[in-house]
Structure 1
């Protein structure tokens, strides 16, 4: 009697160079306990130097290895048909001078961007006009508007990005996180198609 195994590939996996990838690393399994213990240690891939930093493992390769290990087994797949394996080398220590340089570039770049925007929309003239309308007086530097506006600008950026240093204000993702997620999904789709040797065949392939 055939036994059924349900398998769901993970979307992405990080591993080290020259590592051995087992089935338990790349997929979730539902199977008989004895079969599960045998399958979870099934060797799927051996990372080598030629693999560089991105590997795509196709579900068909996984099924082929599973049926070779346990014949007469019905395999039901759920979810994605391939997994992206990212080979990550050991992290290098962050250079303090480089960190300071990047921080300064971002800080002054953002400051110049905000100042140029305010100059384009004549923010100072608008605040002067509002002050004159409300008080009947002319003031070249209406600090009663400029100071709260400056604090409000910083608070608005904190609320927009939903972060205060490393602390998240709530569970809702920020627009920047959504855009980064969309970019990562597009990148993963590109890698899945162009790096998956099983999904593309050239004219000269045999």
Structure 2
């Protein structure tokens, strides 16, 4: 244990929400937290090993702030540690992914394409879209036609443009900085997933009193 000879012996740490790591990687304090302290002290603290990923670990690991503080105290007992922000960090272990199968990709693409097309057609059938367009055409022109292309063609183009504006993307290019509804839903899903992992994967939270 080494002593700290500085006037200010208080350090401030903030746990990162989520980090990605490789299998069997050693995680140090600098990887898991942000530190505010004397520059010399930071360089020493950053080298403290917090966790060693092993083959037994699954793809999600939760590091509790109490474990981090305990590791700091083991190395430097006279430091006062102030934790700010979240109390846990989620470690996502990234394993090598197999190459994407081209036939599977094509199959999924066709499945999504025809599935979405059928969903749109079924919706239009439910609300009698063709009958509505026929009546609007008759009201405006005074003529009755089975296929009012004057409305159907602009409507089809507008439907595609509306989907682009809704998802705020043209392929990989974002139209503006505002998140799309899908991105907001994905963000909420990720937040809920992180909360679940913190509650049920954190060994500190799942301590069984009858085993002690």
**What TM-score range do you get, normalising by the shorter chain?**
over 0.9
Secondary structure of 1:51's counterpart equals coil
Equivalent residue number for residue 146 of structure 2: 140
Residue of 68, 74, 83 corresponding to 1:62: 68
CA root-mean-square deviation:
1.0
Residue of 201, 208, 211 corresponding to 1:205: 211
Equivalent-residue separation in structure 1 for 2:9 and 2:116 (angstroms)? 61
Q: Which runs of 5+ in 2 are unaligned?
A: 1-6
Equivalent-residue separation in structure 2 for 1:197 and 1:86 (angstroms)? 16
Equivalent residue number for residue 170 of structure 1: 176
Equivalent residue number for residue 104 of structure 1: 110
Equivalent residue number for residue 37 of structure 1: 43
Equivalent-residue separation in structure 1 for 2:43 and 2:98 (angstroms)? 37
Equivalent residue number for residue 72 of structure 1: 78
Scaled by the length of structure 2, the TM-score of the pair is 0.95
Contact 1:53 1:86 in 2 (8 A): yes
Equivalent-residue separation in structure 1 for 2:207 and 2:53 (angstroms)? 23
Does the alignment pair 1:194 with 2:200?
yes
Scaled by the length of structure 1, the TM-score of the pair is 0.97
Residue 2 of structure 1 and its aligned partner are, at CA, apart by 5.3
Runs of 4 or more above 6 Å deviation: none
Residue of 26, 43, 60 corresponding to 1:20: 26
Equivalent-residue separation in structure 1 for 2:181 and 2:201 (angstroms)? 29
Deviations 1:88-123 (A, max 9, x none): 101222111111111110000000000000000000
Q: Which runs of 5+ in 1 are unaligned?
A: none
* Stretch of structure 1 that moved more, 62-71 or 115-124: 62-71
Equivalent-residue separation in structure 2 for 1:97 and 1:122 (angstroms)? 37
Equivalent-residue separation in structure 2 for 1:65 and 1:201 (angstroms)? 20
Equivalent residue number for residue 4 of structure 2: none
Secondary structure of 2:150's counterpart equals helix
